[in-house]
């Protein structure tokens, strides 16, 4: 659905890739707030009921607003099509469960979004699917983990908490040569910064709750892939039922209109702030793919157009100092999530304390003095001033 428009820039595509679906005088499309849709006649009903991914039969199967959002996302990711789900986890669970069966093996990363890790570690084994977790920065190790029954390679880059990257162009061909399907979670980058499909990845999944929606107001997910893969994934979707409401699909469509300008601004601010943080005496280390000091900076340059919203950094202090620093900030809100208009910050060790013990946190690189900062659209000078004040306040109280 995207090829004829391939010459447009992303800035234009987010506004016009869905023009073909306009059917009224509206400049802004209506919210098709309907769970079910009327047939014109018997033949039309037979078509609606029998055609997979019909956009106006029953909203769990599809919705006219979904169709517009999907056209834009498929265009941005360079895939034939896209499916929408009610959350990022809805997208990931649906795609994974559609692609594996009992007896299959999955290769995945040691670092994944926590709920993805649970799907791989806790849910799949209950259905007879085994997963091998591999250090993602080592493409050779990913290849060595492949077994004759490996069906799926699950990837995510950049990944929490230290923004480690996976070399997509190295992994994709070795999977393809063996007939293994690759899935990449592209949430932290967005298609503006990274296009996994162009590097050979089969299925690109998103938490559209983050950069794509961009305003911290909706929960949504997306699966971008070929028509051939969309078919079984859509069938699983109609069974699992992770449905995106027409209202949230419409909010997502509105968010997408500004995606290109938001991501450009967020990339620039985040890089500026990452460089600035690196120079602060109270900061121990900064992880950001756009920084020359990132251990995989060359890979970041090759595979990403921008570093995205998330900076992880450690401050020179213990858990208590880090807690005080986060509490002292006025601009970044103390909240999980990322990629929206508001800057958000979380104290990583506090975030994962309820679900991991100390040994697990150490294994996952989550130091007690570590924060995850999602840069929003505030002016970077104002963010710097706030960060500087909070760092000084947190460390002053230490004595
Ligand atoms: C948030 C997130 C998810 C899950 O998305 P939801 O919309 O919260 O279900 C998956 N992967 C990554 C990388 C995320 O950041």
Quickly tell me which residue has 């990452």 as its tokens. 274
Ligand 1 pocket test: pick from 91, 115, 119, 157 the residue with the most ligand atoms within 8 Å of its Cβ: 115
**From the CA of 372, how far away is ligand 1's center (Å)?**
15
Q: Can you give the residue range of the structural domain that contains 306?
A: 259-398
Which residues, judged by CB distance below 6 Å to any ligand atom, belong to the binding site of ligand 1?
A: 87-89, 113, 156, 185, 187-188, 207, 209-210, 219, 221
Residue nearest to atom 1 of ligand 1 (CA): 207
**CATH assignment of the domain containing 294:** 3.90.1150.10
Structural domains in the chain (count): 2
**From the CA of 106, how far away is ligand 1's center (Å)?**
20
27-64 in b/e form (b: 16+ CB < 10 A) is: eebebbeeeebeeeeeeeeeebeeeebebbbbbbbbbb
- Is the peptide bond between 161 and the residue preceding it cis, with omega within 30 degrees of 0? yes
Per residue of the chain (399 residues), give pLDDT as tens. Answer: 445 546 799 999 999 999 999 888 999 999 999 999 999 999 999 999 999 999 999 999 999 999 999 999 999 999 999 999 999 999 999 999 999 999 999 999 999 999 999 999 999 999 999 999 999 999 999 999 999 999 999 999 999 889 999 999 999 999 999 999 999 999 999 999 999 999 999 999 999 999 999 999 999 999 999 999 999 999 999 999 999 999 999 999 999 999 999 999 999 999 999 999 999 999 999 999 999 999 999 999 999 999 999 999 999 999 999 999 999 999 999 999 999 999 999 998 888 888 888 888 887 788 899 999 999 999 999 999 999 999 999 988 655
In a domain, 2, yes or no: no
Which of the listed residues 233, 257, 281 is the one where a domain comes to its end? 257
Which of the listed residues 208, 241, 257 is the one where a domain comes to its end? 257
**CATH assignment of the domain containing 243:** 3.40.640.10
Residue 350 host element (H or E): helix 348-352
In a domain, 274, yes or no: yes
Q: Residue 1's pLDDT is what?
A: 44
**Those residues with Cβ within 8 angstroms of residue 243's Cβ, 6 or more apart along the chain or in another chain:** 59, 60, 85, 86
User: Do residue 237 and residue 278 come from a single domain?
Assistant: no
Entry field: residues in the chain: 399
Distance separating alpha carbons of residues 108 and 116, to the nearest angstrom = 10
Ligand 1 pocket test: pick from 113, 136, 240, 312 the residue with the most ligand atoms within 8 Å of its Cβ: 113
Which of the listed residues 257, 292, 307 is the one where a domain comes to its end? 257
**From the CA of 398, how far away is ligand 1's center (Å)?**
35
Quickly tell me which residue has 């509105």 as its tokens. 254
């Amino acid at each position: 659905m995207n090829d004829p428009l391939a010459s447009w820039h992303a800035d234009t595509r987010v506004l016009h890739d869905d023009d073909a679906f306009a059917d009224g005088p509206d400049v802004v499309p209506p919210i098709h707030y309907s769970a079910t849709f009327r047939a014109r006649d018997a033949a039309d009903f037979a078509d609606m009921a029998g055609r997979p991914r019909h956009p106006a039969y029953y909203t769990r199967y599809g919705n006219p607003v979904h169709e517009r959002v999907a056209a834009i996302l498929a265009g941005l990711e360079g895939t034939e099509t896209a499916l929408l789900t009610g959350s990022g986890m809805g997208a990931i669970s649906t795609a994974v469960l559609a692609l594996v069966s009992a007896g299959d093996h999955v290769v995945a990363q040691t670092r994944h979004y926590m709920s993805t890790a649970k799907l791989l570690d806790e849910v799949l084994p209950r259905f007879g699917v085994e997963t091998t977790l591999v250090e993602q920065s080592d493409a050779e190790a990913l290849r060595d983990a492949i077994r004759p029954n490996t069906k799926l390679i699950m990837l995510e880059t950049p990944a929490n908490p230290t923004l480690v990257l996976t070399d997509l162009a190295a992994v994709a061909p070795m999977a393809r040569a063996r007939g293994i399907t690759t899935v990449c979670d592209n949430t932290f980058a967005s298609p503006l910064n990274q296009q996994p499909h162009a590097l050979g990845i089969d299925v690109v999944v998103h938490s559209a709750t983050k950069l794509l929606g961009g305003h911290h107001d909706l929960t949504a997910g997306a699966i971008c892939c070929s028509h051939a893969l969309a078919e079984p994934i859509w069938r699983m979707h109609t069974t699992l039922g992770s449905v995106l409401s027409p209202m949230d699909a419409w909010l997502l469509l509105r968010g997408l209109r500004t995606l290109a300008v938001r991501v450009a601004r967020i990339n620039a601010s985040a890089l500026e702030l990452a460089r600035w943080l690196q120079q602060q005496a109270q900061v121990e280390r900064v992880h950001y793919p756009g920084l020359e000091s990132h251990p995989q900076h060359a890979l970041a340059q090759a595979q990403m157009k921008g570093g995205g919203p998330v900076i992880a950094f450690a401050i020179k202090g213990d858990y208590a100092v880090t807690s005080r620093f986060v509490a002292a900030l006025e601009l970044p809100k103390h909240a999980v999530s990322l990629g929206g208009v508001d800057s958000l910050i979380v104290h990583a060790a506090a975030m994962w304390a309820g679900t991991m013990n100390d040994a697990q946190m150490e294994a996952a690189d989550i130091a007690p003095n570590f924060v995850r900062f999602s840069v929003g659209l505030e002016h970077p000078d104002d963010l710097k001033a706030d960060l500087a004040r909070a760092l000084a306040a947190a460390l002053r109280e230490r004595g």
